[in-house]
Structure 1
């Protein structure tokens, strides 16, 4: 019996969910191997990319010219944003990793069972973003005959990247290895809204110095917990000022303490001699990481000058902000088709979260963020996605790719 397209999509997405790729630790290789084998069985060029980590291999596939021939990884000229800037090499980008499922007791179903019920796929990664990967895989396969026959002029490249959830350079490595293009679609769950910009984020570990003493003689030392209070207060004031900065698409900048630790490696009757906390700084598209770093350093230096509290600062991870013009041809095309097919809003929009679109924009390649599923399901317990929306996404993606690659 022939499998209907919606059943095929459901089966493929469910099978991807059943391959655990939690990050951390980041065990993407089994999923990457599955993807490469799936393409190879259908006669489509595909390979594993073992950089930056063989244990966390990535998957690439393409129809059309081998994207590494001539190394077109620099992408389109940013000055060519406009009517026909979407070019002839289209990259469909997704990430293989998912955030940890956490306590299974919080889930109604096994998070890695890939259960399909009443047209909904349940499980970790169903929305973010194994279903998006499945949509991209089927789109590339379905477009292959027309590209190989010359009816469509160009190449479609698929990325199954590692490490997106923790800021690892998976997509960046693929672009630098030559698997880039003239434009890219990053298939995050956006409910078919077209994101042309996204916030960035930098996380710092801030250390606060104290001096240890026994809790029976607290005045003989300096409790690092107390020393941290004015530093935390200064960050609260900084956050209040940041909230006055706002981008029309992605919202406000923020500075938030997300984790605090002190005294956990010592006797419980000893004042901690050091406290550490994580500082999460959300970055707007018009801010640079250099300016943010200078602000944080100045903030801590001023706090030390006023209070005498010594601190140290260590970067943990950084996702750059990214943006392209809202009227870019690729964005306009996906807005139009999403409105016609899925009744999606047509107004410009941006994401408050960081995505791998930044890696394309940094390389000079225009990229949008678009896909089926709701962002509220990303990272949530009982994560799920409407497979009817996934089927619409496949239809829209194939129509958009056909328009992008049709001979001018």
Structure 2
């Protein structure tokens, strides 16, 4: 039986409305015109910063040039009159280059709003993707949509709010982290470890590629690695071996049936028009076997990676998967090991929360159409704030369908709308 969003609260980290100062009109036309004009004068400046960020090849994995990208952002913030700190990651895994978190504050009032983003990007399909191209109202290159473009929008939204006097009763804290693409333990996790997420914050926004929708909920995640052992033998004596590859296929089949069942459990949350309503599973995203073409493979492995709707509990689903694999292994006499490599909870903020209402009205005013609350089809770093009861939302200029692809791009008009929303939202919550 599929739960409704209200019934899913036991699984998701869900937050009901809490007291917040009553919002005024959102936003007034004069303020909107001022923000739009301020941003319009900086069109080339914003594009140039994004092009500079794209040129830093902060691919993750393996975590290349993370320190260099953090320093580039720190220097850009300094040029905009914002002092930023680079926080070295205290428990960084081996491999990433100088991982660091960028933390900066705009304003000095008591009321607090977080802008959160990441500057690592998925590996490029071609090295030319790190030379951004600006043409036809678009900037094309690796990370423009996910989410260096969003970072630029957040930064200029924060500066606009400060320069135009919109945040006289509060402050914006910018958190820019280095490893969202590989689990975020060394980035957002560092913020938690240092005690830098304040449960009293009014909200957090992240400019992930939501395509103009408001992501108020996100899926949970589970990743497993399954290792299978057989017995090696030369091809001339193949009958003496135990083929770990074939035994692996025996284990995959029940998981494949489970994946189909999972996809058939629709969520009660609103989804994007092109997003599947069921939870999703990728089997064999990584897989391999054997030592050589002429040897019976003595080892084999495959991965299982799932994104679970808030109605599903990843811990429960992990138990189901392990039971399926172990049963199939017993039936075939296969030696198998299952290791969990990722477990992340889902998270959702009630669209009835006052902070959600202010955001919806702000987005509607800027976009010119009613705001849409949707479930993000993947996971979001908003979950780190949700753990601290901070209302959390994703809204950004990129499009998910081009993110991670060979022609990744962001529309400059969408980039400006994002910066406008962030500036106006800060003004409404902190002004």
How would you bin the TM-score normalised by the shorter chain?
0.7 to 0.9
Kept in 1: contact 2:188–2:381 (CA 8 A): yes
Q: Distance in 2 between matches of 1:131 and 1:96?
A: 10
- Report the alpha carbon displacement of residue 127 of structure 1 after superposing the two structures with TM: 0.9
Please name the residue that 2:378 is paired with.
353
Please name the residue that 2:143 is paired with.
125
Q: 1:41 to 1:243 in 2, by over 3 A?
A: closer
Uncovered stretches (5+) of structure 1, i.e. residues with no partner:
68-87, 105-109
Q: Distance in 2 between matches of 1:243 and 1:328?
A: 30
Q: Distance in 1 between matches of 2:89 and 2:369?
A: 37
- Aligned partner of residue 216 in structure 1, secondary structure: helix
Report Cα offsets for 1:118-138 as digits up to 9, x if no partner.
Answer: 221111011111111111111
Of 95, 98, 101, the residue aligned with 1:55 is 98
- Report the alpha carbon displacement of residue 344 of structure 1 after superposing the two structures with TM: 4.7
Please name the residue that 1:98 is paired with.
121
Structure-1-length-normalised TM-score: 0.86
Decide which moves more: 175-184 or 135-144.
175-184
- Aligned partner of residue 363 in structure 1, secondary structure: coil
Q: Distance in 1 between matches of 2:335 and 2:388?
A: 39
Structure 1 residue 8 and structure 2 residue 45: aligned? yes
Structure 1 residue 25 and structure 2 residue 62: aligned? yes
- Report the alpha carbon displacement of residue 66 of structure 1 after superposing the two structures with TM: 9.3
Q: 1:338 to 1:45 in 2, by over 3 A?
A: same
- Aligned partner of residue 303 in structure 2, secondary structure: strand
Structure 1 residue 135 and structure 2 residue 136: aligned? no
Of 286, 300, 309, the residue aligned with 1:259 is 286
Report Cα offsets for 1:273-297 as digits up to 9, x if no partner.
Answer: 1110011122222333321221122
Report Cα offsets for 1:63-90 as digits up to 9, x if no partner.
Answer: 23499xxxxxxxxxxxxxxxxxxxx211
Structure-2-length-normalised TM-score: 0.82
- Aligned partner of residue 204 in structure 2, secondary structure: strand
Q: Distance in 2 between matches of 1:282 and 1:335?
A: 26
Please name the residue that 2:179 is paired with.
163
Mapping of 1:314-329 within 5 angstroms?
Answer: 314-329=339-354
Kept in 2: contact 1:193–1:335 (CA 8 A): no
Structure 1 residue 269 and structure 2 residue 294: aligned? yes
Of 207, 223, 238, the residue aligned with 1:203 is 223
Please name the residue that 2:422 is paired with.
397
- Report the alpha carbon displacement of residue 197 of structure 1 after superposing the two structures with TM: 0.8
Kept in 1: contact 2:216–2:375 (CA 8 A): yes
Decide which moves more: 42-51 or 173-182.
173-182
- Report the alpha carbon displacement of residue 59 of structure 1 after superposing the two structures with TM: 0.8
- Aligned partner of residue 246 in structure 1, secondary structure: coil
RMSD across aligned positions (CA): 2.2
Kept in 2: contact 1:191–1:344 (CA 8 A): no
- Report the alpha carbon displacement of residue 146 of structure 1 after superposing the two structures with TM: 5.9
Please name the residue that 1:289 is paired with.
314
Kept in 2: contact 1:192–1:344 (CA 8 A): no
- Report the alpha carbon displacement of residue 186 of structure 1 after superposing the two structures with TM: 1.1
Kept in 1: contact 2:67–2:98 (CA 8 A): yes
Decide which moves more: 325-334 or 221-230.
325-334
Report Cα offsets for 1:7-30 as digits up to 9, x if no partner.
Answer: 222122222112221112212111
Mapping of 1:84-95 within 5 angstroms?
Answer: 88-95=111-118
Q: 1:368 to 1:290 in 2, by over 3 A?
A: same
Uncovered stretches (5+) of structure 2, i.e. residues with no partner:
1-37, 272-276
